[in-house]
């Protein structure tokens, strides 16, 4: 039996050798493998999707049996491709000699080895390069930990809040250590009540260790049992576990013991005065600790109600313990963020915030969160250098405080550095909706919409009721010219947070769709919740609505009062200049523009905001109409530089930028290139089809056949979207299934 088996295997081998199947398969594998490696190396540079590599591997695997079958049936000889005879006679000699085949296989194997080396080098370079793009907050080798919410084994809800407070204080203490990266509170608390194993959580939070535990309080003898355990994620094992039985008043001593043990077990080196920093500085009042934790929960939501709740809880914590530094810091943040989101009187709330942060720093001048709060206040007071200094102190005293990096990003003029700081904040707090929103919003501005949508998924997973998540999708749809989808998403945002700014965005989209009944409805809602700094934006929306529906007299009545303005108000002067441009009063347009304070700065210091560019374009046209060609040419050169800066380094340019480029070219008299850029704006999603007909600088283009055809096509598209949106909303309203 054995002899027969050996004979059969020998026959199969001889057939494979005779038919040159082994050599054919070897050449196929060795030849295709370098192709796959080259594609893997070049795919990041060519921005190829992951699916391209999957397709290439599929082709490779699918081709294997084809090569096997063809090499069994056929051979390539000097006479061409011939069928291999079924008998035992030797097959025809291959077109390639044996030595040549061996040489080819050897060369290909050498190429594989070389490509492996290149691939490894490139990956190391990419990894080190991406580390370098982040802020230099953490170096390799620094250990990382997440403190998960401690469980409460009591039916009293207050005890659960107390357990949350205990968790938060452990977070605060550990995050003071320079050589330890601590996942932020928002991310840690996102796993409260979530059924996931620690390995999954560790991977999602990108940490090496997890501290978790439980709290059981006995009301009879006022004692508490706290169990804590430290888990090594990579090893999947417990480094340490301990149970503490103490009187309730000793709870903060337990916190100190846990923090000190964690530092010891992780072998973290404490720097300078950090030995004292890991001693708890929380309130001695359990009620204050509970209120503080509830305040932080409200603060993380970034909604009006959440911030107002936070204000109330932080004040309760201070009422319980006036010397609770973290509560004063939280109160400062609640005041400032209510101003930031436009839901509070600026001067009054900023003054309250400053009082709170000063009290926090009096109590603990090394409290990183308090220095970050001070930086945020300075930002609202336009004290950018002071803000940077305060936020750098925050990073120094608490290198794990995500908000310090996020707020510092807003002060960075360089787009790449700004994104790096936003990413650092998101890395520290990967479950924070606001940290994710800032990264995604910046990516949208840069044209990286796919990555932005991936972050959107993470935001919704962390908090499906966070309005900013749906604002992201609305912005992408608006950017793409899908106004109907953008409106639906903005309405979700408004349903979660009734915000005048969101209402105005919806109104603007309805104006472009030509649905003026809905536009008026949303303009009215926006008017009910308008802040001082937003009032001008709302006025221009109303003017645009009047012009879009052909009511020029109504628009003129709103434009004329804008001409009378204070010579010290920069925004009002730019609006006066724009009003003069649209009214055809070019002398007034120039007079107002030349009074704008930023005109005294070097042109490379001008802030290239939409308002500045719009006002400058209007003034340039006014100069040209008054035959001041030198001034017009110089201003157009400056505008062109600002537009070039907006386009720099972006994979996709905002459609409004193409439209403004078209205006610039029209003022220069280059109608052909103006049309090209206008078409580009339309192709990229620009939708204000009514605006060119009221734009003085495009007056000479109105009779151009190409222009008329372009605008007619855009208007038809808007009409179709309006009808589709109306149908979809009526269907939703009538559906009861």
Given a contact cutoff of 8 angstroms between Cβ atoms, the answer to whether 313 and 292 are in contact is: yes
Q: How many beta carbons lie within 10 A of that of residue 341, not counting itself?
A: 16
Average pLDDT over residues 706-730: 90
pLDDT at 610: 83
Using the predicted structure, report yes or no on whether residue 623 has a pLDDT greater than 70: yes
pLDDT at 88: 45
Using the predicted structure, report yes or no on whether residue 72 has a pLDDT greater than 90: no
Four-CA torsion 713, 716, 721, 726, nearest 10 degrees: 170
pLDDT at 547: 95
**What tens digit of pLDDT does each residue of 436-475 get?**
999 998 888 777 888 888 888 888 887 888 888 899 889 8
Given a contact cutoff of 8 angstroms between Cβ atoms, the answer to whether 170 and 178 are in contact is: no
Q: Pick the closest to residue 372 from 354, 352, 394 (CA basis).
A: 394
Given a contact cutoff of 8 angstroms between Cβ atoms, the answer to whether 352 and 335 are in contact is: yes
Given a contact cutoff of 8 angstroms between Cβ atoms, the answer to whether 108 and 31 are in contact is: yes
pLDDT at 468: 87
CA distance linking residue 505 with residue 544, whole number of Å: 13
Average pLDDT over residues 249-268: 75
pLDDT at 492: 93
Q: Pick the closest to residue 462 from 487, 490, 434, 422 (CA basis).
A: 434
Class of residue 615 by CB neighbours under 10 A (exposed 0-12, middle 13-18, buried 19+): buried
CA distance linking residue 317 with residue 185, whole number of Å: 18
75-79, 190-194, 378-382, 540-544: range with lowest mean pLDDT? 75-79
| Alpha-carbon distances, residue 630 vs 82, 444, 599, 635, 699 (angstroms) | 80, 38, 16, 9, 22
- Supply the angle between the helices 552-559 and 535-548 in degrees, to the nearest 10: 160
Q: Pick the closest to residue 660 from 641, 200, 496, 462 (CA basis).
A: 641
The two three-digit tokens of residue 620, written as one number: 């340039």
**∠406-408-411 over CA atoms, to 5°?**
125
Please name the residues in contact with 383: beta carbons below 8 A apart, sequence gap of 6 or more: none
CA distance linking residue 613 with residue 67, whole number of Å: 63
Q: How many beta carbons lie within 10 A of that of residue 584, not counting itself?
A: 12
> How are beta strands 143-147 and 209-218 bridged, if at all?
parallel
CA distance linking residue 560 with residue 567, whole number of Å: 17
Is 176 in a helix, a strand, or coil? Answer: coil
Using the predicted structure, report yes or no on whether residue 550 has a pLDDT greater than 80: yes
CA distance linking residue 146 with residue 201, whole number of Å: 9
**∠473-479-480 over CA atoms, to 5°?**
95
Q: Domains in the chain and their CATH numbers?
A: 2-132 (no CATH), 145-267 (3.40.50.10070), 649-737 (no CATH)
**What tens digit of pLDDT does each residue of 187-214 get?**
888 888 787 888 888 888 889 899 998 8
């Amino acid at each position: 039996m054995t002899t027969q088996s050996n004979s059969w295997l020998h026959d199969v081998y001889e057939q494979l050798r005779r038919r040159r199947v082994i050599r054919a398969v070897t050449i196929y594998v060795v030849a295709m493998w370098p192709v796959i490696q080259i594609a893997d190396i070049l795919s990041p540079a060519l921005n190829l999707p992951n699916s391209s590599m999957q397709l290439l591997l599929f082709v490779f695997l699918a081709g294997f049996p084809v090569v096997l079958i063809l090499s069994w049936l056929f051979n390539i000889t000097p006479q061409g491709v011939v069928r291999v005879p079924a008998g035992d006679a030797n097959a025809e000699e291959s077109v390639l000699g044996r030595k040549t085949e061996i040489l080819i296989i050897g060369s290909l194997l050498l190429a594989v080895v070389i490509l492996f080396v290149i691939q490894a080098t490139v990956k190391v370079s990419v990894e080190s390069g991406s580390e370098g793009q982040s802020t230099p907050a953490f170096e390799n080798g620094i250990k990382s930990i997440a403190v998960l919410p401690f469980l409460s084994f009591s039916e009293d809800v207050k005890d659960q809040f107390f357990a949350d407070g205990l968790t938060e204080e452990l977070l605060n203490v550990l995050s003071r250590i320079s050589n330890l990266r601590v996942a932020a509170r928002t991310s840690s608390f996102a796993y409260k009540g979530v059924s996931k194993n620690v390995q999954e959580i560790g991977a999602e939070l990108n940490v090496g260790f997890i501290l978790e535990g439980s709290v059981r309080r006995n009301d009879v003898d006022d004692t508490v049992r706290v169990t804590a355990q430290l888990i090594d994620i990579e090893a999947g094992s417990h480094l340490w576990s301990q149970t503490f039985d103490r009187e309730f008043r000793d709870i903060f001593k337990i916190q100190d013991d846990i923090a000190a043990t964690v530092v010891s077990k992780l072998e973290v080196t404490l720097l300078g005065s950090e030995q004292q920093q890991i001693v708890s500085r929380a309130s001695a009042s359990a009620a204050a600790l509970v209120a503080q934790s509830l305040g932080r929960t409200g603060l993380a939501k970034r909604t009006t109600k959440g911030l107002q709740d936070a204000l109330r809880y932080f004040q309760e914590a201070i009422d319980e313990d006036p010397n609770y530094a973290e509560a004063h810091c939280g109160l400062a943040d609640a005041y400032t963020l209510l101003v930031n989101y436009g839901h509070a009187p600026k001067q009054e709330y900023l003054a309250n915030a400053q009082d709170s942060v000063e009290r926090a720093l009096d109590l603990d001048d090394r409290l990183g969160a308090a220095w970050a709060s001070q930086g945020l206040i300075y930002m609202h007071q336009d004290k950018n250098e002071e803000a940077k200094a305060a936020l750098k102190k925050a990073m120094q005293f608490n290198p794990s405080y995500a908000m310090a990096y996020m707020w510092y990003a807003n002060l960075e003029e360089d787009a790449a550095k700004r994104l790096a700081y936003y990413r650092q904040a998101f890395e520290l707090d990967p479950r924070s909706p606001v940290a994710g929103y800032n990264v995604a919003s910046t990516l949208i501005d840069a044209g990286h919409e796919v990555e932005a949508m991936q972050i959107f998924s993470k935001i919704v997973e962390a908090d499906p009721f966070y309005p900013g998540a749906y604002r992201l999708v609305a912005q992408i749809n608006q950017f793409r010219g899908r106004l109907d989808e953008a409106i639906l998403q903005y309405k979700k945002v408004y349903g979660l947070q009734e915000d005048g700014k969101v209402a105005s965005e919806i109104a603007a989209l309805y104006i472009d769709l030509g649905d003026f009944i809905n536009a008026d409805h949303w303009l009215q809602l926006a008017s009910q919740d308008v802040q001082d700094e937003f009032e001008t934006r709302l006025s221009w929306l109303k003017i645009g609505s009047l012009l879009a529906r052909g009511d020029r007299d109504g628009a003129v009545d709103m434009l004329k009062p804008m001409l009378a303005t204070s010579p010290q108000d920069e925004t009002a002067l730019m609006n006066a200049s724009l009003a003069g441009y649209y009214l055809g009063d070019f002398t007034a347009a120039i007079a107002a523009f030349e009074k704008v304070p930023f005109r005294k700065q070097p042109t490379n210091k001008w802030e290239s905001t939409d308002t500045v560019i719009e006002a400058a374009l209007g003034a340039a046209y006014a100069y040209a109409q008054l035959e001041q060609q030198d001034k017009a040419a110089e201003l157009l050169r400056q505008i062109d530089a600002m537009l070039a800066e907006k386009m720099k380094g972006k994979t996709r340019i905002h459609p409004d930028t193409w439209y403004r480029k078209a205006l610039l070219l029209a003022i220069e008299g280059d109608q052909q290139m103006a049309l090209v850029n206008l078409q580009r704006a339309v192709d990229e999603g620009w939708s204000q089809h009514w605006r060119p007909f009221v734009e003085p600088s495009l007056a000479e283009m109105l009779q151009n056949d190409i222009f008329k055809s372009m605008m007619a096509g855009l208007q038809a598209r808007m009409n179709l979207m309006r009808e589709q949106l109306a149908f979809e909303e009526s269907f939703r309203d009538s559906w009861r299934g």
